[in-house]
Amino acid sequence: MPAEKKTQRYTFKGAAGEYVYAADFDRVQAENGALQELLNQRDEALHDLEQRRHAEQQACQAAERRVEELAAEVKRLDLMVSQGDYNYDADRAQFKTRIAELSADSQHLRKLLGQALSAVNPTKRLAKDIRAALNPTAEAASHE
């Protein structure tokens, strides 16, 4: 097999005469580096969004548990009131107000979670597309 020859404009490879412009090689290498950097940035953003979604999901679950606890307490107080103990009317109203506040908080957290999930999904799709574009076997298979 003959040794490789190099000139300023071409890189020849063996007797087959395969070559590539050095400028094209440099450009593709620079594009690859830029795409890799973009992929890394998107992976970091995805990780941050997933952590935020997880934290919001935990907060939402905690709020829902608290709503259930307060609903049980309201039910207990309703039973006491129905049995003739009207001293608890003020507490009952306070619990109902607090349950309404926590329900609103829970709905707000669910909305935030939905927004976080909608932000994560396009980022995952973009990262997958970039990885596929950078995969040399996928590119070779697509040219056949």
Instruction: Report yes or no on 10 lying in a domain.
Output: no
CA distance 12 to 17: 6
Are 111 and 60 within 8 A, CB to CB?
no
Q: Pick from 111, 99, 100, 7: which is nearest to 59 by CA?
A: 111
Indicate which CATH number applies to the domain containing 134. Answer: 1.10.287
Using pLDDT thresholds of 50, 70 and 90, give the confidence band for residue 18.
Answer: low
Range of the domain at 118: 46-143
Q: How far apart are CA 62 and CA 33, in angstroms?
A: 44
Q: How many residues does the chain have?
A: 144
Please report whether residue 32 resides in a domain: no
Q: Within a domain: residue 33?
A: no
**Taking the model in full, what pTM does it have?**
0.39
What total number of domains does the chain contain? 1
- β-pair partners for 19: 12
28-62: pLDDT as tens digits: 899 999 999 999 999 999 999 999 999 989 998 99
